[in-house]
């Protein structure tokens, strides 16, 4: 199996699906001639031509509106937000049109909205956000957030084939830092299914995307102190794998929910509430939410490093929960 980066895995999934299905096309700012801000679509214009690789004006609402219309007409658009932060400009299109279409009159909107999210690259408050919590409150949408190259390919393939709108969160810190063996040819990761990334018995960390690697590093360090930490990689946030979350909570009795979206109103609150409602009798301690403080993402490197959870801060939380 070839070793590929997280970025290349996303690119391969898109490339392979465009080769298989002429309904699939790419649309967004600079996706064609320039090949995308992070070069994910480099070469696509030469391979598929301007009718399937469409450069647009700087208007996220127009990109998403055109994609919704194309999807309703039987196409399968992949709409790129150059940075996922600017999805806010197309919020109305996604929330009030794409997400509600099937409920209102039975019409699916098979489109993917993909874009780089997350911090750790000193991009500042307008290029480092994690907007998943906004959209987790929207019935009709699906949200995926891969943390590995294998899942980046598998989830992109699944998202393109899905009959409903999927927000595909690509953590840009992982783009060229994460490499692994990825099989050639078709790889499909089911939407809505978590995976146990590391088995453990003393406590669980539920997480996703870049925080997966923070959790695994912290779990490895904790093992040297005799603490066995299970790490559950959600992979999908909407709908998240409730069964897997409840199973890991019941197995270990202690849970940390770790994410990069800010704390208040973040995904951790929903997950913690579900655990408390469904498996309270298995818990040996309160569910802990570990997330950045309620501020914009700082631009200064030192402040951003203090803002983001890291292996050291997760390690402290592990020790405190273990000793509870």
Q: What is the pLDDT of residues 153-202, one digit of tens each?
A: 999 999 999 999 999 999 999 999 999 999 999 999 999 999 999 999 99
pLDDT tens for 48-100 read 999 999 999 999 999 999 999 999 999 999 999 999 999 999 999 999 999 99
Indicate the number of domains in the chain: 2
The answer, yes or no, to whether residue 1 has pLDDT greater than 90, is no
pLDDT tens for 284-313 read 999 999 999 999 999 999 999 999 999 999
Backbone dihedral angles phi then psi of residue 154, each to the nearest 5 degrees: -65, -40
Q: Which are the contacts of 305, defined by CB distance < 8 A and separation ≥ 6?
A: none
How far apart, in whole angstroms, are the C-alpha atoms of residue 286 and residue 208? Answer: 21
How far apart, in whole angstroms, are the C-alpha atoms of residue 253 and residue 187? Answer: 34
Look at residues 292, 148, 256, 129 and name the one whose alpha carbon lies nearest to residue 209.
148
Q: Which pLDDT score, from 0 to 100, does residue 314 have?
A: 98
Q: Which pLDDT score, from 0 to 100, does residue 17 have?
A: 98
Range of the domain at 228: 195-322
How far apart, in whole angstroms, are the C-alpha atoms of residue 167 and residue 285? Answer: 34
In a domain, 214, yes or no: yes
What are the structure tokens assigned to 33, written together? 């001639």
Q: Which pLDDT score, from 0 to 100, does residue 123 have?
A: 95
Same domain flag for 144 and 228: no
Taking residue 15's Cβ as centre, other Cβ atoms within 10 Å add up to 18
Burial, 293: exposed, middle or buried (Cβ in 10 Å; 0-12, 13-18, 19+)?
A: exposed
- 275: domain CATH number is 3.40.50.920
pLDDT tens for 207-242 read 999 999 999 999 999 999 999 999 999 999 999 999
Last residue of a domain, one of 181, 212, 245: 181
Same domain flag for 236 and 306: yes
**Are 233 and 193 spatial neighbours (Cβ–Cβ below 8 Å)?**
no
In a domain, 187, yes or no: no
What are the structure tokens assigned to 210, written together? 């870049």
What residue has token string 């647009």? Answer: 56
Q: Return the percentage of the chain with pLDDT > 90, whole number.
A: 99
Same domain flag for 64 and 126: yes
The answer, yes or no, to whether residue 269 has pLDDT greater than 90, is yes
- 7: domain CATH number is 3.40.50.970
Query: CA triplet 165, 206, 224: central angle to 5 degrees?
Result: 145
Q: Which pLDDT score, from 0 to 100, does residue 145 have?
A: 98
Same domain flag for 177 and 201: no
By annotation, the residues acting in catalysis are: 127
pLDDT tens for 122-166 read 999 999 999 999 999 999 999 999 999 999 999 999 999 999 999
Q: Residue range 269-296: average pLDDT?
A: 98
Same domain flag for 14 and 161: yes
Largest CA distance in the chain: 60
Q: Residue range 115-121: average pLDDT?
A: 97
Same domain flag for 172 and 203: no
Look at residues 24, 57, 58 and name the one whose alpha carbon lies nearest to residue 41.
24
Same domain flag for 67 and 172: yes
Average pLDDT, the chain: 97
Output DSSP code: residue 85: G
Last residue of a domain, one of 123, 155, 181: 181
Query: Considering the entire predicted model, what is its pTM?
Result: 0.97
Q: Which pLDDT score, from 0 to 100, does residue 205 have?
A: 98
């Amino acid at each position: 199996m070839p070793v590929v980066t997280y970025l290349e895995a996303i690119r391969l999934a898109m490339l392979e699906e465009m080769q298989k299905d002429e309904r699939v096309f790419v649309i967004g700012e600079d996706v064609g001639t320039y090949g995308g801000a992070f070069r994910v679509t480099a070469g696509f214009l030469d391979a598929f031509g301007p009718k399937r690789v469409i450069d647009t004006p700087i208007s996220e609402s127009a990109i998403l509106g055109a994609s919704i219309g194309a999807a309703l007409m039987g196409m399968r658009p992949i709409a790129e937000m150059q940075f996922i932060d600017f999805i806010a400009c197309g919020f109305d299109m996604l929330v009030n049109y794409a997400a509600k279409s099937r409920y209102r009159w039975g019409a699916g909107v098979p489109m993917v909205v993909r874009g780089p999210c997350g911090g750790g690259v000193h991009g500042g408050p307008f290029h480092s956000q994690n907007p998943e919590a906004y959209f987790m409150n929207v019935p009709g949408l699906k949200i995926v957030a891969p943390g590995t190259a294998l899942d980046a390919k598998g989830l992109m393939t699944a998202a393109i084939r899905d009959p409903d709108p999927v927000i595909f969160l690509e953590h840009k810190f992982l783009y060229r830092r994460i490499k692994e063996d990825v099989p050639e040819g078709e790889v499909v990761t089911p939407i809505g299914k978590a995976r146990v990334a590391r088995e453990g018995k003393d406590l669980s960390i539920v997480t996703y995307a870049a925080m997966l690697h923070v959790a695994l590093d912290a779990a490895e360090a904790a093992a040297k102190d005799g603490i066995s930490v299970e790490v559950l990689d959600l992979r999908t946030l909407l709908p998240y794998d409730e069964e897997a979350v409840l199973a890991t909570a019941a197995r270990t009795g202690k849970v940390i929910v770790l994410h990069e979206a800010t704390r208040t109103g973040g995904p951790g609150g929903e997950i913690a509430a579900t655990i408390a409602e469904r498996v309270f009798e298995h818990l040996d301690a309160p569910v802990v939410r570990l997330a950045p403080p309620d501020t914009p993402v700082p631009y200064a490197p030192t402040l951003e490093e203090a803002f983001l959870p890291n292996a050291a801060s997760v390690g402290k939380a592990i020790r405190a929960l273990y000793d509870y």
